Amino acid sequence: MVNVQSIKDAPGLADGRLREADHPSSQVALFGPDQPLRLDCGVDLAPFQIAYQTYGTLNADRSNAILVCHALTGDQHVANIHPVTGKPGWWETLVGPGRALDTDRYFIICSNVIGGCLGSTGPSSTNPATGKPWGLDFPVITIPDMVRAQAMLIDRLGIGTLFCVVGGSMGGMQALQWSVAYPERVFSALAIACSTRHSAQNIAFHELGRQAVMADPDWRQGRYFEQGTHPHRGLGVARMAAHITYLSDAALHRKFGRRMQDRDEPTFSFDADFQVESYLRHQGSSFVERFDANSYLYLTRAMDYFDIAADHDGVLAEAFRGTDTRFCVVSFTSDWLFPTTESRAIVHALNAGGARVSFAEIETDRGHDAFLLDVPEFLDIAGGFLQSAAAARGLPANGA
Amino acid sequence: MTALQQALPLNGQATFFDPANCRGDHLLVAEMVAPGSKVLDVGCGEGDLLQLLESRGVDGRGIELSREGVNRCVAKGLAVVQGDADTDLANYPDDAFDYVILSQTLQATRQPRVVLEHLLRIGRRAIVSFPNFGYWKMRLQLLVGGHMPRTDNLPATWYDTPNIHFCTIKDFVQLCDEINVKMERAVALDLYGRPLRLNAPWWFWNLFGEQGIFLLSRGRHRDETK
């Protein structure tokens, strides 16, 4: 038989994931039966909890709070060591002392989205009605639901207006949704590599990922925790496919080309002969260690449903009419998941709605993932935008 | 570190802007803008004019074609978007701005007439400045030298210039008449950016003005037909 390799599981980590779901290594805001989260699907979710991290100090006016919204597979650990993987925070290029999102100057909040798997209520959380993980009994959630939950957290923290809402990809969707749903609570919004609606191609990629998860016999109709299995192969394949969309042809060529992995000749097998295969398998394996398969289904679904214009009679500009929020929209030349045309559509709608908007396209071959990487031009733009917004907000230059 | 990265400001616009270094034509344009108004600068370059306007309490926005220009503007905290005057002005609604400025850009557009019409649709007033191809040094180079004119301010050769629609002050005045644009103020500047004397006749400006700056508004006819 030809040599075959597939995504490896890391036994034992399931316990860690499950522990984080109910008892995260983060601050937690609990909302009881009297404070349900009204979901777009018509369900009132209660009780529920939101896990969040904060950095820096809230000033006396409560005017320096920035909400960072994470992307599809991100979490609240934006600038600290991750409790499951032990790796640094996912946006330390942008968030930290002296960075664009300066923790010496701003109070930074990042919460795990509802439906996530790092401590905010989601399909891997325990369903209080059954004492077992929610699984597919968890209601389908939307981007507006995530934002509604964040607004309840912001209320709980006693903050009226956020100085800025920042996010890339699905986080950018949330930032835009914040500015539409709560325009008076968003002084400025920085939306990176995102869109006001998920494209047909992106829905198609998500469906591919979901089908990969559900085709894994270990998925067990979402009951894998109770049955002691883990759909690591399906989730790994979903991640591999998605990861390709986060990069670019040029970046893959630059990083790997057709180079071989630890060998000079092809093995005439389905072993990972090519570096790019090895890299993708590693991406798949490391992802399944930290992420819940059902959460992946729910969060990709939330992105698919996202369409701001549809909620405003099909006219995107109507969503932003008369807004006082200062916007900055950023795209990357090689991003084919959320291409510049999508950002341009946001900018046209914002201009038509009379909003104050900046828009920059950054030249890079690093694809959609560029927003997470050390791209100096992007970091300078984010910093410049926040500096001028801070001046307009009357925030003092050094600290609160 | 590239030159671009070095040039990007790190401490926000306040520490960077120095009005003393402003160009003469920018100061003249800024004087034409009423304080507190909302302005769109089409072809805003690296945002020098926008910074000058914002320092005077104007709510400024910009469009710029070059990515480098846009990114420098945004890093300075200016509200600038990447776009093309020829294609993107159509996306702006009527009466969105008090003034729309086209500074040294008209001659680089593919359809100057359409652009000019958009300026006065989007803005209640427009301020347009452009290099005067009727300037005597230009005429002399063509007449005596027999080659396409090049000056310090317009150093590009004919084959690599972005300026594809040169005009003279006389041509521009004629276009304004044709599309019923009212000329509220006109200034011609000499080679050093100093205004020529005000009561000079058009032919004098057309010959000795190195560039022209015009404050325009909608003609009567246009308003009546609206």
Q: Strand A164-168 relative to strand A132-133: parallel, antiparallel, unpaired?
A: unpaired
State whether A389 and B77 contact (CB < 8 Å): yes
What is the maximum span of chain B, computed from C-alpha positions, in angstroms? 57
State whether A385 and B14 contact (CB < 8 Å): no
For residue B152, being part of any structural domain is answered with no
Mutate to test the interface with A, among B81, B97, B122 (most CBs of A within 10 A): B81
pLDDT at A399 over 50: no
Residue by residue, pLDDT tens for chain B (226 residues) are 333 333 333 334 444 567 667 788 899 999 999 999 999 999 999 999 999 999 999 999 999 999 889 988 988 889 999 989 999 999 898 999 999 999 999 999 999 999 999 999 999 999 999 999 999 999 999 999 999 999 888 899 999 999 999 999 999 999 999 999 999 999 999 888 888 887 788 898 999 999 999 999 998 754 444 3
Q: Which residues of A touch B10 (CB under 8 A)?
A: 380, 383
Cβ-nearest to A328 among B11, B61, B74: B74
Q: Which residues of B touch A377 (CB under 8 A)?
A: 4-5, 8, 71
Question: How many whole angstroms separate alpha carbon B21 and alpha carbon A37?
Answer: 56
Question: Which residues of A carry out catalysis?
Answer: 169, 335, 368
For residue B66, being part of any structural domain is answered with yes
- Is there a contact between A143 and A149 (Cβ–Cβ < 8 Å)? no
Q: Which residues of B touch A328 (CB under 8 A)?
A: 74
Distance from CA of B54 to the nearest CA of A (A): 12
Q: Which residues of A touch B93 (CB under 8 A)?
A: 352, 354
For residue B118, being part of any structural domain is answered with yes
pLDDT at A163 over 80: yes
Question: How many whole angstroms separate alpha carbon A115 and alpha carbon A118?
Answer: 9
In chain B, the number of structural domains is 1
* Average confidence score pLDDT of chain A: 94
Asked if B90 has any chain A CB less than 8 Å from its own CB, the reply is no
Distance from CA of A92 to the nearest CA of B (A): 18
The helix/strand/coil state of B100 is strand
What are the tens digits of pLDDT across the range A208-224?
A: 999 999 999 999 999 99
ipTM for the complex shown: 0.79
Q: Tokens for A399?
A: 């600290």
Q: What's the number of CA atoms in the CB half-sphere (13 Å) around residue A167?
A: 32
Question: How many whole angstroms separate alpha carbon B66 and alpha carbon B74?
Answer: 12
State whether B12 and A384 contact (CB < 8 Å): yes
Which residue ranges form the domains of chain A, and what is each CATH number?
Answer: 13-393 (3.40.50.1820)
How confident is the model at residue B19, as a pLDDT? 67
Residue A328 bridge partners (DSSP): A190, A358
Q: Supply the DSSP symbol for A143.
A: H
What are the tens digits of pLDDT across the range A305-327?
A: 999 999 899 999 999 988 999 99
For residue B38, being part of any structural domain is answered with yes
What are the tens digits of pLDDT across the range A116-126?
A: 999 999 999 99
Whose CA is closest to B33, among B59, B14, B13? B59
Domain that holds residue B211: 3-12+25-133+165-225
CATH of the domain at B188: 3.40.50.150
Return the percentage of chain A with pLDDT > 90, whole number. 90
For residue B159, being part of any structural domain is answered with no
State whether A352 and B93 contact (CB < 8 Å): yes
Question: How many whole angstroms separate alpha carbon B64 and alpha carbon B186?
Answer: 25
Angle between helices A143-156 and A293-305 (to 10 degrees): 100
The helix/strand/coil state of A249 is helix
Is residue B131 within a helix (H) or strand (E), and if so which, with residue range?
strand B123-131
For residue B19, being part of any structural domain is answered with no
For residue B138, being part of any structural domain is answered with no
**A and B: number of Cβ contacts within 8 A:** 85
Question: How many whole angstroms separate alpha carbon A265 and alpha carbon A241?
Answer: 26
Distance from CA of A390 to the nearest CA of B (A): 10
Q: Which residues of A touch B73 (CB under 8 A)?
A: 358
For residue B37, being part of any structural domain is answered with yes
State whether B70 and A360 contact (CB < 8 Å): yes
What are the tens digits of pLDDT across the range B192-206?
A: 888 888 778 889 899
Q: Which of residues 216-255 of A touch B (CB under 8 A)?
A: none
Lowest-confidence region among A11-20, A143-152, B172-181 = A11-20
